[in-house]
Amino acid sequence: MLILSKVSKTYANHQVLASTDLRVLAHETVVLIGPSGCGKSTMLRLINGLIQPDSGSISFEGTLLTTDNILQIRQRMGYVIQEGGLFPHLTVRDNVIVMARYLRRDAVWIDSRLDDLVQLVKLPHELMSRYPAEISGGQRQRVSLMRALMLDPDLLLLDEPLGALDPMIRYELQLELKNIFDQLGKTVVMVTHDIAEAAFFGHTIVLMQEGRIVQTGSFNDLAKTPSEPFVEKFISAQRQPMAQLAKGLQ
């Protein structure tokens, strides 16, 4: 579904993405993980054409992304940015349908799509007339997901979609999100910095460090056959505090 071939990006002499190859198969969930600043969000922005690579190419469902076709192709990609990115001056409903309206989709279609999505993300209908500041963080993330799904995209790009939530809400939403992905059969590229979340969602985990992919594989591949010491270090750095905490509680 998605092929990045020798894609690189540099900002003012700072290479944020070295020459990178990545393949994403239809219906799989690929999780980009790595320390802050390693280039995860940059990769998502390159995929949906918000920024252009300095070299290399990106193709989506067999079509090479260009500045001429990106607006069209972007409509087939749902994107949830960090913190949700809802427009504060628009109601929840208007946030969700903003693109559909811009594209002059039929009003009956919009209403029926909205109904389906409200059910899918399990939000009460009366919330639709509120503003983002009048709903909880977890609800805002559900609304962001509704907005990303509105045009029924083939690909979902999620940048730390659960990052700002407290642990209980996060856990609940993780389960629901996974259900939604399975139910809809979407292809998903998700960014997280949490290895447990990566293992939970990712058919494929892409571990990055300083603008390059260090290892690609299942969580088991990374845990059992790390390609270099950094992989082991990254996984155990997140696991050890939990294990120590659990030990201390025994």
In angstroms, give the least distance from the CB of 94 to ligand ADP: 28
- What's the rounded Cα separation, in Å, for the pair 114 and 136? 20
Contact 158, 80 (CB under 8 A): yes
Contact 80, 63 (CB under 8 A): no
Q: How many residues sit close enough to ligand ADP to count as binding (CB under 6 A)?
A: 10
Would you count residue 11 as binding ligand ADP (CB under 6 A)? Answer: yes
Selected binder of ligand ADP within 20, 29, 41, 144 (CB under 6 A): 41
- What's the rounded Cα separation, in Å, for the pair 62 and 153? 16
Would you count residue 36 as binding ligand ADP (CB under 6 A)? Answer: yes
In angstroms, give the least distance from the CB of 235 to ligand ADP: 17
Would you count residue 42 as binding ligand ADP (CB under 6 A)? Answer: yes
In angstroms, give the least distance from the CB of 150 to ligand ADP: 25
Strand-strand pairing, 29-33 and 187-191: parallel
- What's the rounded Cα separation, in Å, for the pair 61 and 71? 15
| 16/184 with CB nearer ligand ADP | 16
| 100/190 with CB nearer ligand ADP | 190
Would you count residue 241 as binding ligand ADP (CB under 6 A)? Answer: no
- Specify the stretch interacting with ligand ADP by CB under 6 A; choose among 29-37, 95-103, 143-151, 234-242: 29-37
In angstroms, give the least distance from the CB of 250 to ligand ADP: 35
Detail the DSSP E strand segments found in the chain: 2-11, 14-24, 29-33, 55-60, 63-64, 77-80, 155-159, 187-191, 204-209, 212-217
Detail the DSSP E strand segments found in 114-165: 155-159
- What's the rounded Cα separation, in Å, for the pair 98 and 200? 32
| 91/238 with CB nearer ligand ADP | 238
Instruction: List contacts with ligand ADP (CB under 6 A).
Output: 11, 16, 34, 36-42
